[in-house]
Amino acid sequence: MKVAPSILTANFIRLEDELKSIEKGSDYIHVDVMDGHFVPNISFGPAIVEQIGKLSPLPMDIHLMVEYPLNWVDKVNFPTTEFITVHAEAHRFAESIKRIKFIGKKAGVCIKPSTSVETIMPYLPQVDLVLVMGVEPGYGGQMFIQSQLEKIKQLSDLKEKHGYIYEIEVDGGINASTAKQCKEAGATIVVAGTFIFNFENRKERIESLK
């Protein structure tokens, strides 16, 4: 299992130290960009994303929780950006996927708990990552919605049946117990924020997820 700590719950006054504390064992840094419209929260913009990219050697897994992702794709295109993920519920998300591919980054598509896998089935051959939200997006510290395990299993079955290449990532309510459930359902990456950053020994928490 790959692990992507969510920087959203880090202490931004000590950003460099926080990033160093998760370097060992982490596979990516998960960066949530929120515009205050698509979700009822605001996080940070491209300038902070750029600084995260400069301060850490880990590849960035950027999750655009924004209403108009096409306006944001180029703004988060940095040297260490690996994935840029857009929501299936956002405006012109299909065009956004094409743009991500055009600029040479890996494209992801995300679905909220209320959105079915069928909604994104036409795009599965094109994407490099599918992000399943285990909670309603916008805030950390929520409980994992167990019904999302069925979506993970469905995506895993489709991937195997058709030979798709996408990673299956899960974000929201992740801890050692839910990470195991997600892995058994077919997930390949888990995103964790409070489970990692609310504890002193981050390396130990990351290892428990892996």
Q: Is the pLDDT of residue 97 over 80?
A: yes
Whether residue 157 lies in the annotated active site: no
Whether residue 32 lies in the annotated active site: yes
Mean pLDDT computed over 38-51: 90
Retrieve residue 60's tokens.
């960035």
Mean pLDDT computed over 22-47: 92
Q: What digits encode the pLDDT tens for the residues 9-19?
A: 999 899 999 99
The enclosing H or E element of 171 equals strand 167-171
d(CA 130, CA 2): 14
Catalytic residue among 32, 35, 61, 128: 32
Q: Which of 67-81, 117-131, 139-153, 168-182 has the lowest mean pLDDT?
A: 139-153
Please report, rounded to a whole number, the percentage of residues in the chain having pLDDT higher than 70.
99
What are the DSSP calls for 9-31, one per residue? GS-GGGHHHHHHHTTTT-S-EEE
- Go through the domains of the chain in sequence order and give each one's CATH number: 2-209 (3.20.20.70)
Instruction: Please report the pLDDT score of residue 139 as a whole number.
Output: 66
Instruction: Please report the pLDDT score of residue 40 as a whole number.
Output: 81
Q: Positive or negative CA dihedral for 88, 91, 95, 100? A: negative
Mean pLDDT computed over 103-117: 97
Catalytic residue among 27, 35, 61, 171: 171
